[in-house]
Structure 1
């Protein structure tokens, strides 16, 4: 009787440990690469010069009663360094305190008189997702995935070596920069073997975006077809160069004209697919999981970043 009880307790502990490991893996899958708790106020040195096509991406949570959040590009570490970009999110300005997002520059100890103001898209206590994409002579700005403005670069990018974020954030969990101007269609060697994850950020510009993973023989190992005109995300693959059955289950979670993040994780038996940091679906392999050689992205889309990394938890 005692032996049976000990066996039952051991099995229960094993199931509990397996459940905890599975939960941790799922949590890691939903995160951005590099996500962590950053100390606030935040300031970091940029390890390489900012270039056209790069996106600077910050994600956090606003405090319950915010007054102001500042996002800056610095030329140097001094307190009075030039700021080629200064975004100040003011929650106590505007009609009935609706707030304003202010763009300005600071040069040679003086603020520019050309202060540009637009409506504040952020809400107290909610997620703060700010993306600044460097274009030729412009900054393209997205707030919570929606483009809110394109601002003229008043100072050269040369010499920008620090980025800072300060103000009324209760948490900052992501700071990342990268990307470039991608061709369309875009093709690259993938090497998405089991244990790897593919992360793509992109801005849809029309009816359809296709993400294709090919085997060495050019056969589709997976196609994720985001069809805004159909309100569906269609998954399929080939076997012996013949398309299989389409999988269309799942509510369309993406919005037109909003930046989306897609994560595709290659596990031994299936692809795990996440959209905007939320689980979307699982797609069972229809061939060898190790034979994923090439990535292609095409359709009505402006690609911002593409990365392949180890998937924590596998």
Structure 2
């Protein structure tokens, strides 16, 4: 990325693709598509324009991912259920498969979040009110216990950084062993949390898993309140609106409430999945 610009703009989408549409293009780059293969395309764009744009974005996303050296991904298997419409009783389940189209979108979301976080933190007029997404290092005791367990079965991990852990995972060739390793390591990880920058002890803002100094949530203001605050902060930097009226202490309290609500939602989702699974296997 050679240059960037932060500004209000209007996105004129020319086609509403699903992840499945994008994945099909990625899987079949030489396929000749017909108009009926996609939703309606507008603004005088052609099918080949859409296809080439997706492929270009995909290639760039792979470069972006390769440059995030030291980033750690511990994706746990997620169950998804087919629900009977009338009774809401689960009929079957499967494991959600993350595909390249998901990773494509994820890369650009991460990039936007990281760049906005850096922009805000380096702007003196508002840096004391910046809402960040902070990820503390793993619980040292839990991580050391996990490292001992892994060492007993011949898997050596340093564990001093996210890069060390990520390399250890990449070096495991057996997929079953890799899944078990991810499961064990995830247990020692702390949760990422929202915070107000000026209320963080010792100014340690970093995100351990992503291995970046500054990170925030900017890309989903329609479903996350912290993103709305971050949009308002960026608007203040760009002179579109006034700075947030809340004090840093008040913003920290809002961040803590968001952490609580997010944890509650996560717990509720997990319990719901467990309940559905119990119904299926009883």
TM-score, normalization: structure 1?
0.20
- Greater strand share, structure number: 1
More helix by share: 2
Q: Which has the larger radius of gyration?
A: 1
